[in-house]
Copies of this chain bind each other. A is one copy, B any other.
Amino acid sequence: MPIARKIKDVLGSQSMIRKMFEEGNRLKKEHGADKVFDFSLGNPDIEPPPAFHRVFLRLAKEDRKGSHAYMSNAGYPEVREALAVKASREQGATLDGSHIVMAAGAAGGLNVVFKSILDGGDEVIVPRPYFMEYRSYVGNHGGVLVEVDTRADFSLDLDAIKAALSPKTKAVLINSPHNPTGRVYPAADIEALGKLLAEQGSPYLISDEPYREISYDGIVVPPILASYDNSIVVSSYSKSLSLPGERIGYIAVGPKAQDREELLNALIYATRILGFVNAPALMQRIVAELTFARVDVDIYARRRDAFTRILDEAGIAYAKPEGAFYLFCRVPPRKVSVSSGVEGDDLAFVEFLKRRLILGVPGSGFGKPGWLRFAYCVDEKIIKASGTAFKKSMESW
């Protein structure tokens, strides 16, 4: 009996990317892990903050009766109350525990949201480039992802969004700080977007913001719920507490969202039937005590600075990140002419760098050919050591 046709098709088209990851592992085995400059994965290497370890150890020592049992599908009431305090402060809105649904990370939360709001053929608008998994998250639940262009600096293009809005539009999905560009949408843009959506049938605004607490140069990520009633915020502790493997995050629904009660019931129901059932119990109780803790963002800031110096010296242009931990770079023009190969071909440049033991991800994987992404959630030493390899590589590109 074969697997699903639709999965078979996707597995086929994915094999190129998977092959690249496998190649990376092969290269590390062949040359030694310290010789390969792997900037391909957004896997935070910074350890969770000391407060996490303290709470974790205390809960393990106590290990109270019933603490690994089922709870409400929405999560522990006291955890939801604690996160409502956090979300209220960040979002400039007054939330209580009933507005929060705990989720298995932002990826789990987004699937729960799309399951709750999408019927077959409903459209979700997303600015391009975008995190490639969005296409699957929307498609899983019968929706259609509609890509719209951003402006040259990767900020929101409201005209493009307006042009893409249709009676089928169920939601607009934004991500700020942004993967892969590092862009933080300013308050004025969020407010203008809210105004536009309110005039155009009030689709949901879904804000995927696992990087909210990772921003630089004093930039504050503006609130979403304060700017538009029909908003849903999806967040996680994968980046702010470096807990991606533990799958813990949450969904916050705007207190003024239309049919809010029904939406919350749908989110709770979707959490159950999609098989999440509830966010992991222990991690719920840990993050409730750490609502305002976060990893040391200065570490990422220093890496960003080290990495941008290297790119500057190598002559590779990039969007200067305001948050998250990615550098989105333009494929530089070839100095060495080649018979085959397309100008600005990100696949060719990524392949070229890989042969020089520098690993990145082609922009094509984010809907933006001609660009590529480096993740700097790796040790500063590795970043600095890559300088020579970048410089040498560019001499023969």
Q: Which residues of A contact B (CB under 8 A)?
A: 1-8, 10-11, 14, 41, 43-45, 47-48, 53, 56-57, 59-61, 63, 65-71, 104-105, 107-112, 115-119, 122, 133, 136-137, 140-141, 170-171, 201-204, 230, 242-247, 258-259, 262-263, 265-266, 269-270, 272-283
Given A57-B63, A242-B69, does the pair A280, B247 have CB atoms closer than 8 Å? yes
Q: Is the CB of B119 within 8 A of A4?
A: yes
CA distance A41 to B70 in the complex (A): 10
Q: Establish whether residues A8 and B47, one from each chain, have CB atoms under 8 Å apart when the complex forms.
A: no
Report how far A137 CA is from B274 CA in the complex, Å. 7
CB nearest neighbor in B for A106: B275
* Contact between chains at B1 and A246 (CB < 8 Å): no
**Interface pairs (17), CB distance under 8 Å:** A1-B230, A3-B116, A3-B266, A4-B116, A4-B122, A7-B115, A8-B262, A47-B66, A56-B63, A60-B60, A105-B277, A112-B275, A133-B273, A136-B272, A137-B275, A247-B276, A282-B283
A43-B70, A108-B277, A244-B277 known; 13 other A-B pairs, CB under 8 Å? A1-B258, A4-B119, A14-B269, A56-B60, A105-B277, A107-B276, A137-B275, A246-B281, A246-B282, A247-B277, A274-B275, A282-B282, A282-B283
A244 to B68, CA, bound (A): 6
Given the known inter-chain contacts A3-B263, A242-B69, A246-B280, please indicate yes or no for A275 contacting B11, CB distance below 8 A: no
Docked complex Cα distance between A98 and B118 (Å): 35
Residues of B within 8 A of A276 (CB): 104, 107-108, 247, 275-276
Docked Cα-Cα span, A275 to B249, in Å, equals 12
Whose C-beta in chain B lies nearest to the C-beta of A249?
B275
Q: Compute how far the CA of A203 lies from the CA of B3 in the bound complex, rounded to whole angstroms.
A: 10
A198 to chain B, nearest CB (A): 11
Instruction: State the oligomeric state as a number of copies.
Output: 2
* Residue of chain B at shortest CB distance from A277: B107
A48, A109, A116, A275 interface centre (most CB from chain B within 10 Å): A275
**Interchain nearest-CB distance for A299 vs B (Å):** 14
| Nearest Cβ on chain B to A60's Cβ, whole angstroms | 3
- The answer to whether B117 and A140 have CB atoms under 8 Å apart is no
* A170 pairs with B277, CB closer than 8 A: no
Interface centre among A4, A111, A122 (most CB of B within 10 A): A4
Q: Give the shortest distance, in Å, between A295 (CB) and chain B (any CB).
A: 11
Chain B residues, Cβ within 8 Å of A202: 1
Min distance, Cβ A288 to any Cβ of chain B, angstroms: 14
Q: Is the CB of B117 within 8 A of A4?
A: yes
B104 touches A247 (CB 8 A): yes
Task: Decide: A242 and B68 in contact? CB cutoff 8 A.
Answer: yes
Task: State how many angstroms separate the Cβ of A306 from the closest Cβ of chain B.
Answer: 21
Given known A117-B3, A242-B68, contact A140–B273 (CB-CB < 8 A): yes
Q: Which residues of B contact A108 (CB under 8 A)?
A: 275-277
